[in-house]
Amino acid sequence: MSELRFEAVSVRYGHGRHSMTAVDDVSLTVPSGEIVGLVGESGSGKSTLARAAVGLTPISAGRITLDGRSIDVRSGVRRQLQMVFQDPYLSLNPRMSIGQSIGETMPDRPRSQRSAEVRRLMQLVDLAPERMSQFPAQLSGGQRQRVALARALAGQPDVIIADEITSALDVSVQGTVLNLVRDLQSQLGLSMLFISHNLAVVRYVASQVVVMYRGRIVEHGPTADVLADPQHPYTRELLSA
């Protein structure tokens, strides 16, 4: 696992008078083996930052590095960053079996090894490996999100970016996904940027918390400190809500 660093990153949409700054000069570090929680309201730029890191949105200024190496969207570095999306009903191809979905992100290797690796990953995320040939429609929301996590792990990433991975799930299954995230972090020493609008969820999984507001970082620190003594008015509002 390694360190993901955003250095003075800006993302702007549009040109000239109509341009809109979604992310404004954000510097942020996800240290090796830690989970950093990123909170903010919708439109604060937190998802844009995530999409920029995996190359889905071009950045207009600054740079994003992994262990000091710049992430070039076109280079293979991208595989080392994997993203898990909000809605597991949308993020899995309905025409591909679970095994195929997980296997797809794997680096090239012989077929037999590939299948063994898929089984291992499915066990890691508490899914019975026999379900490998099933399709997403046969799974519940929580199970799908675990498939999405397994798919991200299959790419052998250095850092995982989790974008609101529990907000589309029922409370009864949200817990299983959060427990899994914590387990994986302690077992594998995952580095993770964990995006959520729910402070209670972030508090449970993250060691550090970053608060974004209107494209900027307004507060940053160890989770316990920020929650105990919030400095920015927005953080206070979030806490009181």
Partner 1 sequence: MKKRWLSVLRTPVGLSAGLLLFVVLALAVVAPLLWSGRADHVDTNVMLEGASARHWVGTDDLGRDLFFRVLVATRLSIQLALVATLIAVVVGLALGTLPALVGPRLGRFAVAVVNVAVAFPGLLLALFFAVIFGVGAHGAVLAIGLASAPSFARLTQTLVAGVISLDYVAAARSAGIGRFRVLLRHVLPNIAEPLVVNATIGAGGSLLAFAGLSFLGLGVQAPQYDWGRLLGDGLASIYVSPAAALAPGVAVVVAGLAFNLFGEAVAKGFGLTTQLGRLPEAPSAPADVPELDTEHVLDVQSLSVTLPGGLRPVRDVSLRIRRGEAVGVVGESGSGKSLTALAIAQLIEEPVQVTASRLRFRGTDLLTGSHRRLLGTSLAMVFQDPMTAFNPVRRIGAQLAEGAREHDGLTRKAAYARAVDRLRSVRIREPERRAGQYPHEFSGGMRQRALIGMGMMGKPALIIADEPTTALDVTVQAQILQLLQEIRLADEVALLLISHDVTVVRAICDRVLVMYAGRIVEDVSSLDRARHPYTRALVAAVPTMETSLDEPLAVIPGRMPDLADVSVGCAFAARCPLADDHCRQVEPSLETSPDGSRVACWHANDLALTTRGS
**Residues binding partner 1 (CB under 8 A):** 41-42, 51, 54-56, 76, 78-79, 81-83, 85-87, 90-96, 104-105, 140-142, 148, 151-152, 155, 170-176, 178-179, 182, 197-201, 203-204, 227, 234, 237-241
Beta-carbon neighbour count of residue 102 at 10 Å? Answer: 29
Which residue carries 């959060």 as its tokens? 178
| Distance of closest approach, residue 90 Cβ to partner 1, in angstroms | 4
| Distance of closest approach, residue 7 Cβ to partner 1, in angstroms | 20
Beta-carbon neighbour count of residue 15 at 10 Å? Answer: 7
Task: Give the residue from 207, 209, 201 showing the smallest Cα distance to 171.
Answer: 201
- CB nearer to partner 1: pick between 64 and 148: 148
- CB nearer to partner 1: pick between 19 and 140: 140
- CB nearer to partner 1: pick between 113 and 138: 138
Query: By the 8 A CB rule, do 84 and 145 touch?
Result: yes
| Distance of closest approach, residue 8 Cβ to partner 1, in angstroms | 23
Q: Which amino acid is at 129?
A: P
- Beta partners for 5? 29, 65
Following DSSP, what letter does each residue of 59-72 receive, concatenated?
-SEEEEEETTEE--
Rounded to whole angstroms, the Cα distance separating 231 from 112 reads 54
- CB nearer to partner 1: pick between 83 and 195: 83
| Distance of closest approach, residue 157 Cβ to partner 1, in angstroms | 9
| Distance of closest approach, residue 161 Cβ to partner 1, in angstroms | 9
CB-based burial label for 41 (10 Å; 0-12, 13-18, 19+): middle
- CB nearer to partner 1: pick between 195 and 238: 238
